A and B are shown apart, each in its own frame.
Chain A
C-alpha cells in the first residue's frame, strides 16, 4: 500500500453521516462483486475506505449531454448522497454545486492548488478542438484550455463515457467541431477510460474504490478501459446466448462489445437492453456511431445466434 496523506478518516465520516454499518458493508459487497473479488476481500475494502483519505474529485463537463452525470446519480450501494457527502469530496461539479459564476470558478482554482497532485479529475464529454476550440467554452475559457490547465495537476484523469473516452457522438462522422477524446485532445495524455453511453455507474465507483483499496487504479486494456468491466464481451455472459431468442440476427453487437451490461445490469439490477428485446449497439466501443451498416437489421428475427 502506498503511503497516503490522511485528509480525513473515512470511518468517522461514515458514522457522522449516518451511513449504517450494514449499508456500508453491503456496498463493499457489490463493489467486490463487480471487481471480481472474492468475498474475503470485503473486509479489506471496508478497511481501506475507513482508514484511507477522502479523495477529492474535480468533475469537468465538456461537449456532452450530461447522461454520464445522470448515470452517476443512479449509483446504488453506495448511493450518490453517500458518495458526495461521505466517500468523496466533490470539489467541483457544475450540475450540483451551490455557487455559480466566479464563486464556482474559484472552487476549481482552489482545488488545483489545495489538492494539486491528489485530486481525481473526472471528465465527461468530448473536447472540441477545431478553430482553437471556440465551439465549447466555460467561464470565458475554451474547454480545451481548461483540460490543459486541470488534467496535468490531477492524480489521475478518468474519461467518463464514450465521448470523453473516444470522442463519442460529437466526434462522429460529419462533425464540424473537431471533437476529440480527452486523451487525443491533450496530445496522448494517459486517461482511464470508462466508456458507455452512458456507462454503468458501478464501473466508475468500482474504479475509484480500487484506487482506495490498492493505491493504484485497476488494470487497463489497450484502449485504457478497466479490464474488470471491459475485459469480456456482453455476449460472453448474455442470458440469451445459445438460446432460440438471441438478438444477433437483429443486429445485436454483443459479441464485439467489451462491456459488462449483461451481468451488472442497470438501475438496481432491474434490466438491460437485451432483456427489453433491444439489441446491444456497442456503446463502449470507439466509433460505434459510425460502424457501417447501421444499428439494426430491420429484416432480422430472433433466433439461435452464435454460441
Chain B
C-alpha cells in the first residue's frame, strides 16, 4: 500500500522546491521534483546591452553569487574572441575558488548538518569525552573540556528557553540519527564555528571583488581592481587562503569524513547505497592558461553507468532541454537561438506538467552535476591531487569507490574537492603575488553583433551561458544551470531527472518526519533560483543547444 508525502517548502536549500514522493512498503517508490518560483530573467535580459548582462545574471542567485557573473562575462568575451590577461584569469580563479570554499562550508554546516546531527543529543554529552572524540576526528584539534562545556551550556540555555527559533519542530529523536551525544556536541560546536568562520573567510571576495554577496569587480577583458591591488592586499588574501586551508583540513573534511564513516555503514542507514545516480557531467573549471578545456584544473568529462574508469569527452552540442513536463508552451524541436517562450502555468499534474524547471539531458540521458561529478571525472582521469584525497577518504571510511555514487559519497565529494581547491589556491595566490604588476585587463572593441558561449563549474555543478546579440542588444540569452540538471522533471520520454531517480529506494521510517528523504535532497545542495529559467525562447518540446 502506497502513501504520498509532499514536502513543500523544502527548507535548508536555496529557492523554492516542492518534492512529492510515493512511499510503498516503507521505501520511496516514485518522486516528482517541482520548482515553484518563476522570475524569467532571460526575458528581462532581452534588448539590454550584453556588456551589462553579467550584473543582472549574477542576481540569478545570491548563494551561488559570482558564478553567473563570470560566466556571462566569458560569454561576451567568447563572442568578441577576447582572451583575458593571465592575472585576470588568476584573479577569477581565486574568486571562484573562494566561492567554493565559502559556499561548501555553509552548505555542510548550516544547510545539511542537521540532517545528520540531533541537536538534542548534544545536550546529553560529557564534555571531557567530547574532547576525546574531537581529537579522534582530527588529531590537530586542541579544544578542551571547558570549550565544550561552554557550547553545551549555550545550547542548553537556548533549548531551555523554550524558544527554539529555527531549531523548533526539527526531527529530534528520530531513530535515524546515529551519532553519539559527544559527537553530536562536537558537530554542533562546529556548526557555530562555521557560521562565524564564513564571515571572516569571505573577505577574500571583498579584497578582489569589492564585496560579497555579489562582487562587482568583473569586467569584459579582465577585472577592475587597480589602486587597491597592492602587495598588502594580496598578502591579506594569502592569509585568508591559509585560514581557509586550515579550516578545511582541521574541521570541514574531517567532519565530513567522520559522518561518512558512520552513516555509510548499513547498520546506521547505509547511505553509501542510497541516493545514487548513474551518470555524471562536468564542464571543468579553473583554467590555468587560455587553452580550454586542456588547461582546466578540474578536467571536463562525462561518466555513464558509474564507469569511473571510462571518462568520456563532452560535446555540448549533445545537450538538449525538454519542456514536455514543464510549465511552458511546447511544440516542435527548434534551435534555441530564435523565438519566444511563453510560460503557461497549469497547476501540478504529475502525469502532465509539474514544474517551472526544464529537463536538461545529455545524449538523451539525465546527468548529475556538481561535486561528485567533478571528483569522479578527475579521479577517473588520474588527477593526482584528487586521486590522493579520494583514496585517503575511502581508507578512513571503509567505503569503496563505487559507493561514492551515493548520498554520503556526494556530501563527502563536496568536502574532498574543497580540500583540493584550498590547496591549489595557496599556489595560485603565491604566484600572483610574484607577478602582481602584470596587466589585469585588456581593452576591447565592442562589436555590434555576435554570439558567444561560456562553460564553467559553479559550486553546484556544470553551468553554461549562451548569448546572441545584434545592434548591441541581446536577442537571446540562454542558461543551462546545475540545479536544473539535478532537479529537473521527467523528459518527453518519461525518464525521471537525477534527484527523482536518486530518491527511489530511500527508506522512510516516519512519513511525518521524512528525514531520510531530506538527506538525499540536501546532498545535492539544491539551488532553485538558479534552476528555474527560460532556456528555449521558442516554447519547444525539445531544445538543441548548439555551440555557436
In the complex, B332 has a CB within 8 A of chain A: no
Convert B144-168 into 0s and 1s, putting 1 for each residue whose CB lies closer than 8 angstroms to a CB of A: 0000001101100110010101111
**Residue of A16, A65, A94, A138 most packed against chain B (CB within 10 A):** A65
Inter-subunit contact B206/A270 (CB<8 Å) = yes
Chain B residues within 8 Å of A99, by CB:
11, 168-171
Chain A residues within 8 Å of B200, by CB:
268
Inter-subunit contact A17/B40 (CB<8 Å) = no
Convert B202-233 into 0s and 1s, putting 1 for each residue whose CB lies closer than 8 angstroms to a CB of A: 11011111111110110100001111100000
Which segment, of A77-85, A203-211, A225-233, faces chain B? A77-85
* A3-31 CB contacts (< 8 Å) to partner B: 7-8, 13, 16-18
* A87-111 CB contacts (< 8 Å) to partner B: 88-91, 93-107
Convert A162-198 into 0s and 1s, putting 1 for each residue whose CB lies closer than 8 angstroms to a CB of B: 0000001110111111010000000000000000011
In the complex, A41 has a CB within 8 A of chain B: no
Known contacts A17-B158, A76-B199, A106-B169: A94-B529 contact under CB 8 Å:
no
Inter-subunit contact A271/B207 (CB<8 Å) = yes
Chain A residues within 8 Å of B210, by CB:
266, 271-276, 278
Which segment, of A42-50, A128-136, A148-156, A215-223, faces chain B? A128-136
Query: How far, in angstroms, from A95 to B110 measured CA to CA in the complex?
Result: 9
Inter-subunit contact A98/B16 (CB<8 Å) = no
A263 to chain B minimum Cβ distance, whole angstroms, is: 14
Q: For residue B40, which residue of chain A has the nearest CB? A: A176
Known contacts A266-B211, A275-B228: A66-B44 contact under CB 8 Å:
no
Inter-subunit contact A97/B11 (CB<8 Å) = yes
Inter-subunit contact A138/B51 (CB<8 Å) = no
Known contacts A16-B157, A64-B529, A73-B199: A198-B214 contact under CB 8 Å:
yes
In the complex, B22 has a CB within 8 A of chain A: no
Convert B6-32 into 0s and 1s, putting 1 for each residue whose CB lies closer than 8 angstroms to a CB of A: 111111111110000000000000000
Inter-subunit contact B37/A135 (CB<8 Å) = yes
A297 to chain B minimum Cβ distance, whole angstroms, is: 11
In the complex, B176 has a CB within 8 A of chain A: no
In which size bucket is the chain A interface?
Answer: 35 or more
Which segment, of B277-285, B362-370, B397-405, B512-520, faces chain A? B512-520
**Residue of B12, B13, B37, B47 most packed against chain A (CB within 10 A):** B37
Known contacts A18-B153, A99-B170, A179-B39: A174-B11 contact under CB 8 Å:
no
Chain A residues within 8 Å of B157, by CB:
13, 16-17
Inter-subunit contact B9/A100 (CB<8 Å) = yes
B235 to chain A minimum Cβ distance, whole angstroms, is: 14
Inter-subunit contact B168/A107 (CB<8 Å) = yes
Inter-subunit contact B203/A268 (CB<8 Å) = yes
Convert A106-146 into 0s and 1s, putting 1 for each residue whose CB lies closer than 8 angstroms to a CB of B: 11000000000000000000001001001111111001000
In the complex, B292 has a CB within 8 A of chain A: no
Given A100-B514, A273-B211: 11 more A-B contacts, CB < 8 Å = A16-B161, A65-B59, A67-B61, A67-B213, A70-B62, A70-B213, A91-B168, A267-B205, A267-B212, A273-B216, A276-B228
Chain B positions within 8 Å of A, measured between CB atoms, are 5-16, 36-41, 43-49, 51-52, 55-56, 59-63, 65, 106, 110-111, 114, 119, 150-151, 153-154, 157-158, 161, 163, 165-171, 192, 195-196, 198-200, 202-203, 205-214, 216-217, 219, 224-228, 343, 345, 446, 512-514, 518, 529
20 contacts between A and B (CB under 8 A): A16-B158, A17-B157, A18-B151, A63-B37, A73-B198, A73-B199, A81-B195, A85-B154, A94-B11, A95-B13, A97-B169, A100-B10, A100-B11, A105-B9, A140-B8, A170-B44, A198-B213, A198-B214, A267-B203, A272-B211
Chain A positions within 8 Å of B, measured between CB atoms, are 7-8, 13, 16-18, 54, 61, 63-71, 73-76, 79-81, 84-85, 88-91, 93-107, 128, 131, 134-140, 143, 168-170, 172-177, 179, 197-198, 245, 261, 266-268, 270-278, 281, 289, 294-296, 298
